[in-house]
Amino acid sequence: MTSSSSLRANCQTILFSNKAILSQSCLREKKAMDMVRFIRTKEGEVINVKEITFAAVFSMLTNILMSRDLVNFELESVEGGMSEVIRNIFEVGAAPNISDLFPVLAPFDLQNLRKKSKELYLRCSAMFEPIIKERRERKMIDEDDASSQQDFLDTLIRNGSTDEHINILLLELLVAGTDTSSSAIEWSMAELMKSPEYMKKAQEELKNEINQDVIQESDLPRLKFLHACLKESMRLHPPGPLLLPHRAIDSCQVMNYSIPKNSQVLVNAYAIGRDPKSWKDPLAYNPERFLISDMNFRGSNTEFIPFGAGRRACPGQPMATKHVPLLLASLLHFFDWSLPCGNDAKDIDMTGKFHTSLQKDQPLLLIPKMKI
């Protein structure tokens, strides 16, 4: 049986190391262009930006993890209702749990959340198990074939992971990676629609820097203003507004506050990003502030930590900071965008709600027009 620490090490080495991220670039580029081709078929129609980008990110991840497409861009499941299950997981995960306030009630599962979670896990396992079984059988046949398929699932099998461990890890990676990334892109598009001068500047940068009919990840470092737009959006709308929960392993003092041992600690990244002590005009969307700043996504500056900081920062940050700007760049480079029914972009509702990530309360619905 593989330990949880070993599984975490597998994720870091196989998925999120610099070598792994570089090796996945062609796959991410292909899926980004698949998204572009799909949107081209919807020219002049109203599309849901969150759903389109969710499908693109989900497809990237399932192909990196197990070399399979599980949903298409209509969010119709290719295999067994995966899209519906993932949506239900988000709903259950975001539901307020009375047991968090009154732990004594936890054994009773008054809201049936534990029951629903178990049912959803079993449904996911039922979809993953045929894929895992097929891969195990193939490995028995091709055991000595060095040229055979090698992805994350292959590595887990080779390292002796049980089916249960594989099911849990695949589910956690898919749930954690898709909703946050697609929310970040939706917020960025909403802010750019409300600020057409910044939209134009980002599109001009893409026009000047991209010299081919596809966007490659090697192009991304040159897109300074695009990254500034993304950082500014994530400052205002961090996908994980309270980051990942932490626990105090010992009693300690922090800023004159006493933190008892075993207390759960939440870091309010949402408030940090809007702190007037750190940011001029903190509620204004102004990407240019990041053009004169060396702040990055790695948590080097404590006033900007959308992925957290230190050893417990989001492990998926290296991957997210590749596919999120790639997909945002693809939306801006290949299309012009307008609102349905001639609505004014200034009237876009920017109210947020906390689901499994910080989402727009009202989905961003836009009409694409091909540029290239």
**Is 314 among the annotated ligand-binding positions?**
yes
For the segment 255-268, what is each residue's pLDDT rounded down to a tens digit? 889 999 998 888 99
Three-state SS at 189: helix
Query: How many percent of the chain have pLDDT more than 90?
Result: 62
Query: Does residue 4 surpass a pLDDT of 60?
Result: no
For the segment 60-99, what is each residue's pLDDT rounded down to a tens digit? 999 999 999 888 887 665 555 677 787 788 888 878 888 8
pTM over 0.75: yes
194, exposed or middle or buried, with CB in 10 Å at 0-12, 13-18, 19+? middle
pLDDT at 1: 43
Pair type for strands 358-360 and 352-354: antiparallel
pLDDT at 356: 73
pLDDT at 344: 92
Q: How confident is the model at residue 361 (pLDDT cuts 50, 70, 90)?
A: very high
Q: How confident is the model at residue 150 (pLDDT cuts 50, 70, 90)?
A: confident
Query: Does residue 144 surpass a pLDDT of 70?
Result: no
CA dihedral 190, 196, 198, 203 (to 10 degrees): 90
Q: Which long-range contacts (CB under 8 A, 24 or more apart) does 27-31 make?
A: 27/60, 27/63, 27/64, 28/60, 28/217, 28/322, 28/323, 28/326, 29/214, 29/215, 29/216, 29/217, 29/326, 31/56, 31/59, 31/60, 31/63
- Residue 289 CA, chain-centre distance (Å), reads 24
Query: Does residue 353 surpass a pLDDT of 70?
Result: yes
Burial code (b: 16+ CB inside 10 Å, e: under 16) for 308-318 equals bbeeebbbbbb
pLDDT at 84: 76
pLDDT at 97: 87
CATH topology of domain 4-370: Cytochrome p450 (1.10.630)
Extents of the domains making up the chain: 4-370
| Stretch 120-125: mean pLDDT | 90
Task: Give the range with max mean pLDDT: 34-43, 154-163, 348-357.
Answer: 34-43
Residues 6+ apart with CB under 8 A from 213: 372
* Cβ atoms of 331 and 185 closer than 8 Å: yes
pLDDT at 70: 87
Query: Does residue 216 surpass a pLDDT of 90?
Result: yes
Q: How confident is the model at residue 310 (pLDDT cuts 50, 70, 90)?
A: confident
For the segment 157-194, what is each residue's pLDDT rounded down to a tens digit? 988 889 999 999 999 899 888 999 999 999 999 999 99
pLDDT at 6: 59
Q: Which of 48-52, 81-85, 117-121, 248-252 has the lowest mean pLDDT?
A: 81-85
Q: How confident is the model at residue 355 (pLDDT cuts 50, 70, 90)?
A: confident
